[in-house]
Structures are given as structure tokens and as C-alpha cells.
């Protein structure tokens, strides 16, 4: 690594000002190297992809393991790195503040905080206070790290579009730099999210069948891939291994 964390953070913010950012998600150093070679301008970690690489389910990693992963990724690249930090690995606001500060210490340029609590969501008032806490924790470090506020309503199946938008607007007012509701896919819904939190940038999870160009035309700032790259790699391994194990030859 030859570029300082401060410089990468400044670059990350500039990329958001420019928009049309495709943010792929590596899960280890090997996938990171390939994304660098393909021209990625920034990357984001993936909690599901990282967990799968360790033989676990999503949300199966500890905070210390994720922090070590973030340090490894940040130390290995000059690209800005956005951290998939789940729900901050903390329930109380005091512990959340500490958790966010130690994430900033890894060198990341962005920290994503979800409103997921188990299989559902934190109550809105609690979730808003958690974003406000994360915002203050970042500011207290003196580092220009972007806060990505995520509403998991679509993925948990516990909130519809109106509630998701209501939460995202509240998270934006609480200090979220980027708003993100993974699972939104209909053009009208994406447009509604973008319009609701403007002028703050929106991240959209690129689902199968979606086109990044179309998302950018709707005003989306950045698209990410979540665990889809990891899943594609596992499918390729399984297909090749099945050919060898069951048929005795490479496909």
C-alpha cells in the first residue's frame, strides 16, 4: 500500500460526488487482486461473502474477525474500502460508538451500519439513534470516513417501501452520508428512494437482471454486488468439481 488512508478517504468522497460508481465486493485478497486488475475504482467488503469463505453463514463472524479482515484488505490495496459492518456488532449505543471507532482504525473509507436486529429491525427511534451515534463516533475520530446507513426492511421482509423510505429519510437526517436499502429493484421504487433522500447519494444492490446504467439514469450514485460475486465463484467451483468427481474429467 502506497496511498495513505486519508488520501483514499478523500478519493472515496470524490467518487461519490462524481457518481456512477460501481462498487464490487471482494471477499479475500485473491478476489481483491482480480477486481483491482479489472479496473475497480473502489471496493466494499461483504459480510456474507467473507463468512462463506470461512465456511460459515452470514452474520456468523465475530467483530474481531471482521476487524482483522478489514485491516488485511485495507493494508493490501490503494483503493478506498467500504466496510460491510453489519449492525456494528453492538446493541448498546456506547458499545456501538466503540465498535465504529475501531472500524475506522482499520483504514476503511466507509462504514456501513444496518438497522437489522436478529430477523427483524430495530424500532425506528432506536435505529435512528444508532445512526446518530455512529455519526458522532466517526466525527470524534477526526477522520473523513463516510457513514452508510442501511435499512434491511426488504431483505428481512419486515418493511415495505413506505417504511423503508421513512427510515432512510430519518437516517439521512441523523447523519448518514449514503443511504442503502438492499433489495429494492423496481425502477419506480428506486426512483422513489432517490427522490426521498436527495441530495444525499443512494447505493443500490445490483440484482440479477438489473443494469447499472439504468440505475445511474435514475439518479443512483453507486451500485454494489453484495455476495453475488462470491456466489458466482462458488457455483463455478461446484460445477467444475462435480465434473471431476462424478465424471472424472474437467469440464
- Residue-wise pLDDT tens digits, 74-97: 999 999 999 999 999 999 999 999
Instruction: Tell me the pLDDT tens digit for each residue of 4-21.
Output: 999 999 999 999 999 999
Assess contact for 111 and 134: CB atoms under 8 A: yes
pLDDT given for residue 2 in this prediction: 85
Instruction: Tell me the pLDDT tens digit for each residue of 156-177.
Output: 999 999 999 999 999 999 999 9
Continuous segment of H or E residues that includes residue 114 = strand 110-114
181, pLDDT greater than 70: yes
Rounded Cα–Cα distance for residues 202 and 206 (Å): 12
Rounded Cα–Cα distance for residues 82 and 14 (Å): 14
For the chain, the structural domain boundaries read: 5-247
Which residue in 35, 36, 22 sits closest to 232, CA to CA? Answer: 35
Q: Which residues pair with 150 in a beta bridge?
A: 114, 180
Residue 134 has a CB neighbour count (10 Å cut-off) of 30
Is domain 5-247 classified as CATH 3.20.20.110? no
pLDDT given for residue 1 in this prediction: 65
Mean pLDDT of 32-59: 97
Assess contact for 144 and 9: CB atoms under 8 A: yes
Burial 39-62 (b: 16+ CB within 10 A, else e): ebebbbbbbbbbbbbeeeeeeebe
Residues 6+ apart with CB under 8 A from 191: 218, 219
Amino acid at each position: 500500500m502506497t496511498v495513505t488512508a486519508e488520501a483514499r478517504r478523500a478519493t472515496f468522497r470524490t467518487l461519490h460526488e462524481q457518481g456512477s460508481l460501481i462498487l464490487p465486493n471482494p471477499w479475500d485478497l485473491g478476489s481483491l487482486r482480480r477486481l483491482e486488475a479489472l479496473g475497480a475504482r473502489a471496493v466494499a467488503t461483504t459480510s456474507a461473502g467473507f463468512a462463506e469463505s470461512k465456511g460459515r453463514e452470514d452474520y456468523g463472524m465475530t467483530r474481531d474477525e471482521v476487524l482483522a479482515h478489514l485491516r488485511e484488505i485495507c493494508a493490501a490495496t490503494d483503493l478506498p474500502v467500504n466496510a460491510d459492518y453489519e449492525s456494528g456488532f453492538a446493541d448498546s449505543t456506547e458499545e456501538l460508538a466503540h465498535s465504529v471507532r475501531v472500524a475506522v482504525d482499520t483504514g476503511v473509507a466507509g462504514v456501513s451500519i444496518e438497522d437489522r436486529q436478529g430477523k427483524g429491525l430495530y424500532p425506528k427511534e432506536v435505529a435512528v439513534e444508532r445512526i446518530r451515534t455512529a455519526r458522532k463516533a466517526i466525527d470524534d475520530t477526526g477522520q473523513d470516513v463516510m457513514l452508510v446507513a442501511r435499512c434491511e426492511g426488504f431483505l428481512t421482509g419486515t418493511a415495505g417501501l413506505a417504511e423503508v423510505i421513512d427510515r432512510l429519510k430519518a437516517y439521512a437526517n441523523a447523519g448518514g452520508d449514503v443511504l442503502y436499502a438492499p433489495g429494492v429493484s423496481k425502477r419506480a421504487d428506486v426512483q422513489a428512494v432517490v427522490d426521498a433522500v436527495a441530495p444525499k447519494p443512494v447505493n443500490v444492490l445490483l440484482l440479477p437482471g438489473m443494469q447499472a446504467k439504468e440505475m445511474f439514469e435514475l439518479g443512483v450514485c453507486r451500485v454494489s454486488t453484495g455476495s453475488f460475486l462470491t456466489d458466482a465463484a462458488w457455483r463455478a467451483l461446484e460445477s467444475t468439481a462435480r465434473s471431476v468427481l462424478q465424471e472424472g474429467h474437467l469440464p
